[in-house]
A and B are shown apart, each in its own frame.
Chain A
Amino acid sequence: MANADCIVIQGSNMAECHPVAYQWVTEAKLRGATIIHVDPRFTRTSAVADKHVPIRVGSDIVFLGALINHVLTNGLYFEEYVRAYTNASALVSEDFADTEDLDGLFSGYDVETGAYDLRSWSYQSTEGGKVSGSGEGGSGSGGTVGEAGEEEHGGEKASRAAGHEHGAGGPPLDHANIAHDETLTDPRTVFQILKRHYARYTPELVEQLCGISREDFRYVADAVTSNSGRERTTCFAYAVGWTQHSLGAQFIRTAAILQLLLGNMGRPGGGIMALRGHASIQGSTDIPTLFNLLPGYLPMPMVGNHDTLEDYLAEIYSPRQKGFWSNADAYVVSLLKAWWGDAARADTTWAFDYLPRLSGNHNTYASVMGMIDGSVEGYFLLGQNPAVGSSHGRLQRRGMANLKWLVVRDLQLIESATFWKSGPEIATGDMRTEDIATEVFFFPAAAHAEKDGTFTQTQRLIQWHHKALDPPGDAQSELTFFYELGKRLRARLVGSTDPRDRPLLDLTWDYPEDAHGEPSADAVLKEINGTHLSGELTGKPLESYTQMKDDGTTSGGCWIYTGIYAGNVNHAKSKKPGRDQDSYAHEWAWAWPANRRILYNRASADPDGRPWSERKKIVWWDAETQKWTGDDVPDFPEATAPSYRPSPESSGVEAISGIDPFVMQADGKGWLFAPRGLLDGPLPTHYEAAESPVDSVLYPQQHNPARQLYPRRDNLLAPSAGEPGVEVYPFVFTTYRLTEHHTAGGMSRWLPYLAELQPEFFCEVSPELAAERGLTNGGWATIISPRSAIEARVLVTARLTPLTINGRTVHQIGLPYHWGVGGSGAVVDGDSANDLLGVTLDPNVSIQESKVASCDIVSGRRPRGAGLHQLVADYQRRAGVSTATGTQRLTAGVRPEAAAQTSAQERREEDE
């Protein structure tokens, strides 16, 4: 980021939530970069930016779409880059129909399941027909490539939130023989489709739906375009302000399209920075704590679909596609070897059947509803405080109260460990301690300075942290806890002949321990790196994932981390100071993959392999040595010349042409249009949030038709614009964090030095809203949603601005979510903002919509005891909400023909 000429921070309050990373923005600013903050609130990030642009929460696609339109209409895109490195010239199937034609739906929508059939979004094939997703085993004969087999429908993908699988590379395609029109004039080219799709995203629409003036839009448009091109680069940074929406993944896609058009991907000072929310959230998706992933973004197999290894591999990649995903079989077999050692053999199909299978979408919210409904009996909470930190706190606490057992491992007795005796529901009489049968086990946890291990941060840097002192009392590291748990479980099963116990008994579970019984974190990292299992290198760590084999001669716990232990050295421990090395600092920690600091950096050079400019050079083709070289590890096959063009028959790494910089994509190109990978549209399109008092004038369809809905009595939604009762919850609120606290407060509300800095839960309101509702600075306010009512101290501030949307005023209320009630020993407490939220999820990754919802606000404190329910129920009654409110997939105004057309097309495809 320090190399950027312009930085747009949107969907993130980077200075407050990532103060340490913000040093690079400061550095860029001191070097003369323009810093722009687009955010509903004027925050500490805005305070140090050159420009703050207030935006209505949830309207980002309108704003970014208008920037795309501006760039396309005025010819401001980086033409050479776009032509060579993106899929602009690819032709899309004749079956594809856009939202413009279908009242806000894309082709392929199924009203019954609420999911899309993705086939009509496919590329056209040079072999005839379409290029389909994967695993259809098409032979390329005739015009039906890839349509012979069974395509996985969006509905099934959604049932396992398949979007997570693209953390290390794009979705699979059957092959890369895609029809193109290099003139970009064919109406079916991606380029022309893009133009049409965003044609109505104008500065006027931005003014109308985002509340951003035309002057402010112009300022951003000029800053971004004048700081992009050969000589200059612009960078975007986002965080959960973009992700936590019912169409969160699409927010980021919109920025990706813009950055590809401007030529800002794979170049110094370019890119889109995903700012992660915790110290190692990146690490916990790489080596996942997610229900639907295996390490390295390999999908979790699903019962029925992936009963055999063959079925599974066919699903995740096509041997005929381009790039490094085509070696996924080696990554899978090496993982199974790492986990099950000698039990993973060719004759046991590498112990593939030891892997558990998914039976549905077991995201965290579905699990909580499972607790309430009795299908989930036990729960481990590790560094997580859902009673405060997750959406719909009441639902979370009710779920936990219905468990058989609950294990809480934390630094403090957080609210999730004490909800049964001092939670808000005990105070309201909703729950009685004596009725709660959950057996709660609390284990004190070691803090990061009390254990060895790694953090993987936003930039994919894996950094080692050394143990500085012993944990106090009984506190243990997670590593010790789980190693010990595994040992005890295995000891209990010794001698078992039940086949279901084999996966546990055959597990490689033999890490060296130190004198205190602490297993070696070094040894775990070495196992993750992977090892040669045969030949003269037996026992030596792998140097690179390209050495992984599918024949059982290598092991490796996470293919993208391979190389971190190259040369038998733990490179996560590299800590050479920045002043002693060049600016890319390859000897500070280790970045996956291959210690590469900028992904897709082949794109920093022109098609002939020369840097686009001296100022922005990083890797280039050295004609003398016939190799790629430069200041970073080139993200390209080292000896593939820029002039190399593969034959149509080739596949895998060989199929990467000299001008295919996006080596993890199935066709080597940056995707302006995504024929696969997203479940709610190949192009981002604006929909209103699940709860919104605003009418989107773009299409009759108001909400994301593929969003995940949970229509339940305990999860009621507020009416949106056009529905009766919308005036009962007239205001928009958004939730966020403050620098002074850490998420649900377990690491800050118990610490005097942090607690005193922001001691009380507060709401931020504009002076205008304060006047309208009689709120006084420092006084109390009660905020009511269809889920609950909470009280907060009032901070009246001009940092919040009422916006004029569709000609009427929209007030936004800010709620930091760090406080909770009932934790034991906390220095400060207060009501939880997350109690107000309901559960509506993005279809791609099952993220909750927690950045925008509807509420009312009144002066004064909330009722105590049963009165709280009464208040919430009164509001529900006045608004007339029921489980049907806000849960209709299609908006009333959508023409029956539009929905019918998509169904008809689907039927036609079924017939074929």
Chain B
Amino acid sequence: MSFWRNQLHGPTDPARDAAWDDPPPRKGFFTDTSICIGCKACEVACKEWNGIPMDTLGMTGTSYDNTRSLGASTWRHVAFIEQDADRIAAARASGRQLIDLGMPTARPALSPTAEPGTGSAADPLAQSATAPELPDFRWLIASDVCKHCTHAGCLDVCPTGALFRTEHGTVVVQDDVCNGCGYCVPACPFGVIDRREREGDQVAVKNEGIAQKCTLCYDRLQADQRPSCAQACPTTSISFGTLADMRTTAHARLQVLHAQGLTEARLYGADEDDGVGGTGSVFLLLDEPEVYGLPPDPRVTTADLPDIFRRAGWAGAAMLGTAAAAFLADVVTDAVLGRSGRKGLS
């Protein structure tokens, strides 16, 4: 039972669970949206390296976001959200509530890279005399990517084995194995993976109908290179490394921002006890996840499988029992009443 529990929810080492012997440390991203300049170099570098075709062409009218969303031909997506003072105040208040509830800030600062004088482990909020004045306006910018979940729904439901867990703990589609069944598409709680369709007047497109998503540059990792998006990011908003380091860096940065009174800052995907067992892509956000188009409480669709199996088992057993009981009862009744022969069909 514990095997199944680890496989489907809760903290675990997914590479070992996938039967890799002595895998390297799990790899991941930390995307710090507080220093993202929205240059979209990550989107372009990703497309260049991975040979992804052009996506839908046209202006959306949604701030500077003409990419729309992650999808088969967009493995990095930079979101742009314009906010007024009320929304900023709400974000700061909701973040404050998270802190009061003992959310991530309670962790001690672990990173040796944290700057002296900018944060303290004891009580970061006590450090800041006053929170910075609320601006009238702000422009949130965040680069989204596949979460490479500890418990990946897409992988769990893939019937062909096209999706697999790499030794780095990441999740990768083998486009030459995928049969385009699309089961993975609704299985992803983040809406990341999708099948590639032709766009506009395209007559053909590479890997048409095949499910596609970020590979965390599996090929580059094999050659000891960073993923192309992290390599291209000019401000280190996207960092790459072992997931343990990424989580540590994320917590340290969160502490710095909290010490500055920016309680709107919060982490996303850093909690191993969440519905996907924590993600391989950790984010520092400045508002609630929904604002960025991220589910607030993602839950892998297969998380309940043990429960479902257990309950199905019990239900099955109960049904068997009921049937048996009914049969036995019938026999007993018949015996008691001295009836014999078959029940009427009517």
Contacts and interface: CB of A to CB of B under 8 A. Distances in A.
Contacts of B137: 42, 52, 798-799
A50 B34 CA distance: 11
A777 B61 contact: yes
Contact of B35 (A48, A762, A827): A48
B235 A760 contact: no
Contacts, number: 111
Contacts of A26: 35, 37, 235-236
A342 interface: no
Interface in B284-324: none
Given A19-B39, A44-B37, A759 B66 contact: yes
B57 interface: yes
B117 A32 contact: yes
Contact of B54 (A16, A20, A22, A756): A756
Given A15-B38, A753-B48, 8 more contacts: A15-B37, A16-B39, A19-B37, A19-B235, A44-B37, A48-B35, A755-B54, A759-B58
B238 to A, nearest CB: 12
A756 B55 contact: yes
A778 B53 CA distance: 25
B50 to A, nearest CB: 11
Interface in A531-575: none
Contact of B138 (A47, A793, A795): A47
A760 B40 contact: no
Interface residues of B, number: 40
Contacts of A755: 54, 57
B159 interface: no
B41 interface: yes
A511 to B, nearest CB: 34
Interface in B25-69: 34-41, 43-44, 47-48, 53-61, 63-64, 66-67
B82 A799 contact: yes
Contacts of B117: 32
Interface string A4-38: 00000000000110011011001001111000000
Contact of A753 (B47, B66, B236): B47
Interface of A: 15-16, 19-20, 22-23, 26, 29-32, 42, 44-48, 50-52, 738-740, 752-760, 762, 777-778, 793, 795, 797-799, 827-828
Contact of B234 (A22, A42, A762, A828): A22
B39 A797 contact: no
Interface in B231-261: 234-236
B66 A45 contact: no
B61 A739 contact: no
A757 B44 contact: yes
Contact of A30 (B35, B60, B132): B35
Given A22-B235, A26-B236, A31-B115, A16 B67 contact: no
Contacts of B141: 44, 47-48
Of B35, B41, B60, B67, chain A has the most CB atoms within 10 Å of the CB of B35
Contacts of A760: 58-59
Nearest to B139: A47
Given A30-B115, A760-B58, A797 B63 contact: yes
A51 B117 CA distance: 21
Contacts of B37: 15-16, 19, 22, 26, 44-45, 47-48, 739
A778 B44 contact: no
Contacts of B67: 756-757
Given A47-B37, A740-B40, A753 B54 contact: yes
A777 B60 CA distance: 10
A216 to B, nearest CB: 11
B118 interface: yes
A237 to B, nearest CB: 14
B59 to A, nearest CB: 4
A23 B39 contact: no
A795 B61 contact: yes
Interface string B200-229: 000000000000000000000000000000
A740 B48 CA distance: 15
Contacts of B56: 756
A32 B84 contact: no
A793 B67 CA distance: 17
B289 to A, nearest CB: 19
Nearest to A795: B61
B281 to A, nearest CB: 20
Contacts of B132: 50
Interface in B55-109: 55-61, 63-64, 66-67, 82, 84
A756 B236 contact: no
Contacts of B66: 756-759
A417 to B, nearest CB: 24
16 contacts: A19-B37, A26-B236, A31-B115, A47-B38, A739-B37, A752-B54, A753-B44, A753-B54, A754-B44, A756-B54, A778-B61, A795-B61, A798-B84, A798-B137, A799-B82, A799-B137
A19 B61 contact: no
A812 to B, nearest CB: 15
Nearest to B73: A756
A777 B61 CA distance: 6
Contact of A20 (B38, B55, B57, B234): B234
Contacts of B38: 15-16, 44, 47, 739
Interface in B1-41: 34-41
A46 B139 CA distance: 8
A347 B297 CA distance: 86
B147 to A, nearest CB: 23
